[in-house]
Amino acid sequence: MSDDVPRATPSIPDTAGLEPEIREAVTALYTDGTVGMKGAFTPEWADRLREDIEVAFDDALQRPGGAVGRGTKRYYVEIHPEQMRGWLELVDHPWVRGVCEAVLGPDYQIIELGFDVPGPGAKDQPWHRDFPMPDETKQTGRLTSLAFNLTAVDTEADMGPFEIAPGTQWDLPVGFEHEMFPDSSLYPRFLERAVRKYPQRGDISARSALTLHRGTENTSQKSRPVLVLGVDAPGAGNAEHHDMQVTHGFYDALPERVKRHLVCPVVDELTPITQKHTIEGLMMGDA
């Protein structure tokens, strides 16, 4: 970028020997801060995802603390892997595994599974990050976490598409409230770079949660549910904000290459999750 905003200096990992699509993904994450893979799954796979989200969302709304507001008519719900029939196919997808290993290292940790539901009437969110920039990123220019997103519906222009400002994952949080919410005087910078995303069922995207982004106004009569898979490098520290669990039977049936990346408790019986990954600056209006 050519402006004078203070920024961390990115340090792109060595991508020699990687498959071309993984090498391209790493480069995109360190430049734009986001990358996508079209058609990773079938539309029917995404339809099953939507069914599972609808069941989990209905359940969460019946429980105190089952869903947390992320703005007007927006909710976030964290779930357990066993609540999603395609979880293993997702975390074991070669592109997902390859991107995680290349960016976060061979000992990456799967820490979060949840979904956002921007419903009809959802308003523009403020530009934000999902959490403050880690010291390691400020000092070394390395990304220590990734968020993978999968839409459960075909995104249309009036459904409040996700908007992201490429390259802003390196902006130092000067003038950011809670190191996450930039002052509105910086909005023209983000709007100048803003790209709206229109993923279709079966697509996957990966992004740095530090890249400035927002959900936009949903003027349709449709919800736009989106799955979130959170993955950390060892020591990144985001796992403490999540309560994902798996049962012994579920865990025992997993391939070893997946087990080694799970850091959540293995339990006899799942405990319904009370949401604690709140983002206070997004809890506006009547969410």
**pLDDT value for 70:** 86
pLDDT attached to residue 230: 97
pLDDT of residue 275: 81
**% of the chain residues with pLDDT over 90:** 90
What is the crossing angle of helices 94-104 and 20-31, to 10°?
A: 50
* Domain 31-282: assigned CATH number: 2.60.120.620
Tens of pLDDT, residue by residue over 261-285, are 999 999 999 999 998 655 555 554 4
Question: Which pLDDT belongs to residue 99?
Answer: 98
Say what the pLDDT of residue 100 is.
98
Nearest-angstrom CA–CA distance, 145 and 72 = 27
Show the low-confidence residues of the chain (pLDDT under 70). Answer: 1-3, 276-287
The predicted pLDDT at position 225 comes to: 98
pLDDT in tens, 97-110: 999 999 999 999 99
Contact by Cβ (8 Å): 117, 49: no
Q: Cβ distance 24 to 195 under 8 Å?
A: no
Domain boundaries, the chain: 31-282
Q: What is the pLDDT of residue 71?
A: 87
- Burial degree of 2 (CB within 10 A; 0-12, 13-18, 19+): exposed
Per-residue pLDDT, 141: 98
pLDDT of residue 284: 45
